[in-house]
A and B are shown apart, each in its own frame.
Chain A
Amino acid sequence: MAASSQTGMSITLEFSGGAELLFGKVKKHHISLDESTTAWTIKKLLIWVKDNLLKERPELFLQGETVRPGILVLVNDADWELLGELEYEIKENDNIVFISTLHGG
């Protein structure tokens, strides 16, 4: 609730479709983002993910400052392409899902 926003912002990240293999095979991560003077955008989140969660082969998840083409991103079950992609401002309790489409069919 309101109290949690003082200690940071809680959100859930999910990795699937094979993307979880780059995150120690863990699909669901509950994380807390520190309070910050600038808003937490997905662009900023990706840097955080790279520094804090990504276990191996970052080039399979990131390309430049964005996700590797072929990885789908959903925020609260909506396509991030409808929400401003990297510029989307993350809110408390957001659920952000990364699905790889690059793994076999």
Chain B
Amino acid sequence: MPVCCAACSGKAVLKRPKTGDALCRECFFHVFETEIHHTILDANLFTAGETVAIGASGGKDSTVLAYVLKLLNDKYDYGLKLILLSVDEGITGYRDDSLTTVKRNQKQYDLPLKIVSYEELYGWTMDAIVKEIGLKNNCTFCGVFRRQALDRGAVLVEADKIVTGHNADDIAETVLMNVLRGDIARLRRCTSITTGNEGYLPRCKPLKYTYEKEIVMYAYFKKLDYFSTECIYSPNAYRGYARAFLKDLEAIRSSSIIDIIHSGESLSIKKDVKMPTQMTCLQCGYISSNKVCKACVLLEGLNKGLPKLGIGKGLKARQKLVAAGMTLTNTESQSTSTESTAVLNTDKQSLEF
């Protein structure tokens, strides 16, 4: 019982989750690429002449993103200079393997590659951090450091923008997570296609409306080379529940994912809800919602042999800091909890940028 393609009556190979249409391989490639192209155009993501750093983890999303961006850049003459940018967290048996994939992608797609490592930026690999801190809270370190590492790497290659492979499922999941956590500041901005205009480099998500199912199918049919293994250091359990919930919803009604994104986009936040103000870290100059950024606090803790220093909330964390002799004055400045959730929000598990 062969099903025919809704567009050309060829042999259908896939049922689109977003529309329910059955499509053949060629028509699927066409709509998949064209939708991303339109997302880019509609949001005015790029300007000709820009250098764009693609956060590349070697996983499915960033691999598909690199492939499609390269293709669209050639096809529609965006005039962009594309660079693969990878972060080496220093996780033996995990990141070293995925970086091998990125290096293959570099050759396959003929794009320059820049790798920045935690070791060179912070003096600590994740392996060494886990030895200090154990398997609890280690994802906080990794998330905080990665976000900054990607920015610093992008500055090194003189990029104007960073693009990441966050897909529709990731965004929907983040909306749910922010609702569950009551994180209103992030709930408001997590559906934006571009973030970070106010501080460091802008970050864009061209796959924002692209379903994970289609990304995986695209990679499968195009035989793209990607790496898929769970990080060896503890998955994020809370996010895992949100993920499983979302996937269960999708199985019942596949438009759920795009519907949740739509809800997130349409929300407006009451004016009297207090939002964190953005400032610059006194120590490193990175954008921060506190006087000293989370990365510096975490690093200080590691270097002082008090790795739990930056972990925890408000008063307790402040007391720990004062006890450790860190020179901070403002009581407001130590509500570090906001920033730690920030990272877990923007970084799904620990693989994705």
Contact = CB atoms under 8 A, between A and B. Distances in A.
Contact of A104 (B221, B231, B248): B231
Interface stretch (B31-39, B59-67, B138-146): B59-67
Contacts of A82: 3, 12-15, 22
Most buried by B among A74, A79, A103, A105: A105
Most buried by B among A69, A84, A99: A69
A101 B220 CA distance: 11
Contacts of A81: 14-15
Contacts of A78: 11-14
Contacts of B267: none
B250 interface: yes
B179 interface: no
A102 B239 CA distance: 12
Given A16-B228, A69-B248, A69-B251, A105 B216 contact: no
Contacts of A70: 212, 243, 247
Chain A contact-residue range equals: 20 to 34
Contact of B352 (A69, A101, A104): A104
A77 interface: yes
Contact of B348 (A16, A21, A105): A105
Interface in B89-109: none
Contacts of B167: 105
Given A18-B230, A69-B250, A82-B14, A101 B59 contact: no
A19 to B, nearest CB: 9
Contacts of B216: 17, 72, 99, 101
Interface in B326-353: 348-352
Contacts of A21: 229-230
A63 to B, nearest CB: 8
A10 B59 CA distance: 32
A95 interface: no
B88 interface: no
A16 B229 CA distance: 10
B213 interface: yes
B13 A102 contact: no
B12 A105 contact: no
Interface of A: 16-18, 21, 68-70, 72, 74, 77-79, 81-84, 97, 99-105
